[in-house]
């Protein structure tokens, strides 16, 4: 279900159809928050993949370069690291979740 509905009608004797957004339909796609590149507290996913491991939790103190999360795509693992010293304010994904490029995965505080 993509949240649209096909509407069929007749106009001047001719059969017509139009696709409209269905306000009552639930979509299968979730709207994901993207990391704001201008916000130093946002950590985004560098590429699409699956979360293999989350190594921190909200409230943890981290140093620049510490691995926060490990993702996997096409049998290649990628470490998502802290850009600066700080505290993890929010963890947005858990192990097994799928991430897309630039998804907001951590908020630092």
Q: How far is it, in rounded angstroms, from Cα 45 to Cα 92?
A: 11
pLDDT tens figures, 86-108:
999 999 999 999 999 999 999 99
Question: Looking at the domain assignment, is residue 84 inside a domain?
Answer: yes
pLDDT for res 46: 95
Q: Which residue range(s) make up the domain with 100?
A: 42-108
**Residues 6 or more apart in contact with residue 73 via CB below 8 angstroms:** 47, 48, 49, 50
Q: How far is it, in rounded angstroms, from Cα 26 to Cα 46?
A: 29
Question: Looking at the domain assignment, is residue 36 inside a domain?
Answer: no
Question: Looking at the domain assignment, is residue 19 inside a domain?
Answer: no
Question: Looking at the domain assignment, is residue 3 inside a domain?
Answer: no
Looking up residue 86, the CATH number of its domain turns out to be 2.40.50.100
pLDDT tens figures, 56-84:
999 999 999 999 999 999 999 999 999 99
Q: Judging by beta carbons within 10 Å of its beta carbon (0-12, 13-18, 19+), is residue 41 exposed, middle or buried?
A: middle
Q: How far is it, in rounded angstroms, from Cα 2 to Cα 8?
A: 18
Count structural domains, the chain. Answer: 1
Q: How far is it, in rounded angstroms, from Cα 104 to Cα 68?
A: 13
């Amino acid at each position: 279900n993509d949240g649209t509905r096909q509407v069929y009608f007749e106009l001047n004797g001719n059969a017509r159809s139009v696709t409209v957004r269905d306000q009552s339909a639930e979509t299968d796609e979730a709207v994901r928050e993207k990391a704001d590149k201008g916000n130093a507290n946002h950590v985004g996913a560098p590429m699409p993949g699956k979360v293999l491991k989350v190594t921190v939790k909200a409230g943890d103190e981290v140093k620049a370069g510490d691995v926060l999360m490990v993702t996997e795509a096409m049998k290649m693992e990628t470490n998502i690291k802290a850009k600066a010293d700080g505290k993890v304010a929010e963890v947005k994904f858990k192990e097994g979740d799928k991430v897309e490029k630039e998804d907001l995965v951590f908020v630092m505080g």
